[in-house]
A and B are shown apart, each in its own frame.
Chain A
């Protein structure tokens, strides 16, 4: 007879194993250039999401029946040598289980939508390989019991996002935007990795059980405090900001809309954009150790919400408007986390993700919906002037310009971070070429301006 913990372990492994299996099937068949057909892909996708969802619901039911709020399941030591071990651990609590269920519900919905939406699309198989990678990353991040495991899932989500932004790869714009997204994600990943390593180093453990105290979420007490907690917290905040497109990294979010609608829905409307908030919820015990840190989280959240509201007001295409609308809510969720309303933030996150997925999925038929509405009421829908129109003269002009330029965030990052970096290394490259020319006795060649790169940066 299986005991409670063993049953949860089996269900948990099932929830994670199902998407991993999907990824393996898609990955191997693609590598061998024997991709699954559209029908098989759709069925596999459906089966995996249903299996994962049932397993997650099973875990939830067992925990409710048993009255437990926290279950930690050690899958095993992935790597273990003296002084170092990398354990794979899953955690089931009031945060991870709803997030896993949300992931399966939304991924299943979008998967079912995508099997029709992407019908006969040239990159159909590529889309579903990346989709499978995303689901694995999402479920791994949600259920991760150690910060290293969370990092692994986090990176998988990032890669699949960047590649899906560049999905329509016959044009340069998606490729350029995919690279942008990837660069921001790498910054975010670097911050998270540093935080993970510092935490591991400070406490000797990467387990959330140890790091955030033994109490069930959100009542834990952080194993670190003082300045180390502040440093780790700030690193985690940078990681969350990159992933959730918080200020100053918000510029990538509208660019990410280059991808196909199903991926926009599940990534930037629903799941991926909330991962930063999820990370902050997971490490919320660290936020409690420093009022300055909590204040920074609130300020960042409110600033993002305000920024996204202004910029979103002047967007003229539906996906960009929705992406900024998402960002407003993500900003508010982050602010709620900083204030300490953890359950409110979680409920806000779950509700917002579902609503936004629906809106994104309906986006391609927006004009049709409008026509139906207008036909029903017999005249045109009223058009409002927008909130910026209410501002007085000069301020209104400034606000419009600010909003149309998306807060100049991209320009600022390009001008003060990226271009100096690129110029410095291009100069080094030119010097190196001169040096080798000198050694070989060739005449020095004129330095060519890498126009393509400059265009990309700009």
Chain B
């Protein structure tokens, strides 16, 4: 995939700013002051990622060929760069961090460590900008450390998380070492694939996701899983090297997980576990689209990725705002919170429906593309995807009814949405609805990224007839 440095290194600036912010904020003792500075840093970092994304598309529009850059002078090669795949993803990562920080209430400022959040942001931005496999592996490994520390700081059990992430790191490192070795065996990519499946929460190695959501602070839990780093690793590391039959197995495992997790989401009794299963189901859906590796399914998967990241983040932020007011919520009785916070109810519904691909939202066309691509490749997969969508839709609306209707919540104080929370969830809602109304630019960009991924795969592996047809058609 052709990766370009920009004339102004916005992306590098975002990473450095987040790092500097983490160091600066860690020196403040007063949580409110730390929060304000942290918010400023993460806000500027987001603007930098946005400018990096815009800069990339402007350069592409004007056909500017860029060579060299600061990185080449320092390291002799380009390690962090922007291409069709990661340009919007970087902005999404920056946005999610900024909005999560923005929507953090005063009551949560002590528990939500803004300096760790900024450090995680720096690592995550670097991960999503990275194209060099070994550096990417190091960053993916580094990403797993802050959550472990968070669990320890909160005196929560770390075993489930540590076991899964330990296995992930070992398989990732070992797997890539095997891939880079000169041995020739179709099974060489298997450990790498296993690592990615663990990171994406594929059954049966998904328990760490529910455990993580139950034990971590909601904001950090959200930020750790939501940009779908596992999917990014799958595209950069697995897709170019895994043979077709292995991708098929990933697809089957992901599909089973998607169906299973959507069923589990329907019967959950705790909000956080419900959200965790919803996430697992959607992450698996994205993987299913990837592993079909046709131009349409891949385009759908990439579009679904962005839609899911934004929608589930909005959904999560809404749940987090509810938790900040009412504590941990269950789905075993009706809470009737609508009258107390109608704006949260509306945002909950919009983001929840976007996740399941409701018409008029960003997820609609993405879901359509994935199902269409799946039916073209394997009809039964298409049927299963439709089933997943139906179950997830039921789960989301069931949660809405349990949380917001069925009784009336009596409170002597105002539980209305705060200004910063409102700004955060409305921004996401506007993106989800706006993207749903005008989906063409986003889908076209994801199509170009899909074609680049397929071309890279074709260059590294002997192409199948289907791949050839796809790439040939794309070239016309």
Contact = CB atoms under 8 A, between A and B. Distances in A.
Contacts of B263: 421, 424-425, 428
Contacts of A162: 397
Contacts of A151: 359
A197 interface: yes
Which of B210, B267, B365, B387 has the largest number of chain A CB atoms within 10 A? B267
A429 B268 contact: yes
B317 to A, nearest CB: 15
Interface in B316-343: 332-334, 336, 338-339, 342-343
A169 B336 contact: yes
Interface stretch (A91-99, A264-272, A448-456): A448-456
B359 A156 contact: yes
Contacts of B332: 450-453
Nearest to B438: A78
A82 B390 contact: no
Interface stretch (A186-194, A289-297, A324-332, A356-364): A186-194
Contacts of B443: 79, 81
Contact of A82 (B159, B160, B401, B473): B473
B5 interface: no
Interface in B386-410: 386-387, 389-391, 393-394, 397-398, 401-402, 404-408
Interface string B450-476: 000000000000000000000001101
A159 B407 contact: no
Contact of B398 (A78, A169, A179, A193): A179
A171 B375 contact: no
A441 interface: yes
Nearest to A148: B368
Contact of A186 (B264, B394, B426, B447): B394
Contacts of B391: 186
A77 B438 CA distance: 11
Contact of B382 (A78, A194, A442, A453): A194
Contact of B334 (A172, A186, A187): A172
Contact of B264 (A84, A170, A178, A429): A429
A321 B290 CA distance: 51
A103 to B, nearest CB: 18
B20 interface: no
B244 interface: no
Interface in A434-450: 435-436, 439-442, 448, 450
Interface string B264-277: 10111100000000
Contacts of A436: 160, 207, 210-211
Contact of A170 (B210, B336, B359, B429): B336
B227 interface: no
A175 to B, nearest CB: 4
A415 B199 CA distance: 38
B4 interface: no
Contact of A197 (B365, B382, B398, B407): B382
B295 interface: yes
Interface residues of B, number: 67
A169 B376 CA distance: 43
Interface in A151-175: 151-153, 155-156, 159, 162, 166, 169-172, 174-175
Given A80-B440, A194-B386, A453-B332, A169 B207 contact: no
Nearest to B211: A436
A78 B440 contact: yes
Given A178-B401, A201-B376, A83 B267 contact: no
Given A84-B296, A169-B406, A170-B408, A79 B390 contact: no
Given A83-B296, A439-B159, A441-B159, A182 B372 contact: no
Contacts of A429: 264, 267-268
Contacts of A451: 332
Contact of B365 (A79, A82, A172): A79
Nearest to B448: A81
A198 B375 contact: yes
A187 B359 contact: no
Interface in B102-127: none
B321 to A, nearest CB: 15
A440 B159 contact: yes
B184 interface: no
A79 to B, nearest CB: 5
A65 interface: no
A435 B343 CA distance: 38
Contacts of A189: 390, 393
A360 B375 CA distance: 43
Given A197-B375, A422-B267, A453-B267, A82 B474 contact: yes
Interface in B191-246: 207, 210-211
A442 B267 CA distance: 23
A33 B447 CA distance: 38
A200 B372 contact: yes
A159 B397 CA distance: 10
A185 to B, nearest CB: 9
A169 B369 contact: no
Contacts of B426: 31
A178 B399 CA distance: 12
Contacts of A440: 157, 159-160, 211
A41 B230 CA distance: 48
A159 B353 contact: yes
B444 interface: yes
A425 B267 contact: yes
Nearest to B476: A82
B383 to A, nearest CB: 6
B405 A178 contact: yes
Interface in A65-86: 77-84, 86
Given A152-B364, A197-B372, A448 B406 contact: no
A432 interface: yes
A194 B382 CA distance: 8
Contacts of B406: 169-172, 175-176
Contacts of B160: 436, 439-440
A83 B207 contact: no
A159 B346 CA distance: 13
A176 B397 CA distance: 11
A201 B386 contact: no
A187 B390 contact: yes
Contact of A425 (B266, B444, B473): B266
A86 B368 contact: yes
A197 B211 CA distance: 37
Contacts of A200: 372, 375
A245 to B, nearest CB: 18
A175 B331 CA distance: 13
B28 to A, nearest CB: 34
B294 to A, nearest CB: 8
Contacts of B42: none
Contacts of A172: 334, 406-407
B358 A175 contact: no
Contacts of B397: 162, 179, 182
B268 A193 contact: no
Nearest to B439: A79
Nearest to A149: B359
20 contacts: A31-B426, A31-B429, A79-B439, A81-B296, A81-B444, A151-B359, A152-B364, A170-B339, A170-B408, A172-B406, A175-B334, A186-B390, A186-B394, A190-B389, A197-B371, A197-B375, A201-B379, A428-B263, A439-B159, A452-B332
Q: Which 7 A-B pairs have the closest CB atoms?
A: A152-B359, A169-B405, A440-B157, A175-B405, A175-B406, A190-B390, A172-B406
Interface of B: 157, 159-160, 163, 207, 210-211, 260, 263-264, 266-269, 295-296, 299, 332-334, 336, 338-339, 342-343, 346, 353, 358-360, 364-365, 368-369, 371-372, 375-376, 379, 382-383, 386-387, 389-391, 393-394, 397-398, 401-402, 404-408, 426, 429, 439-440, 443-444, 447, 473-474, 476
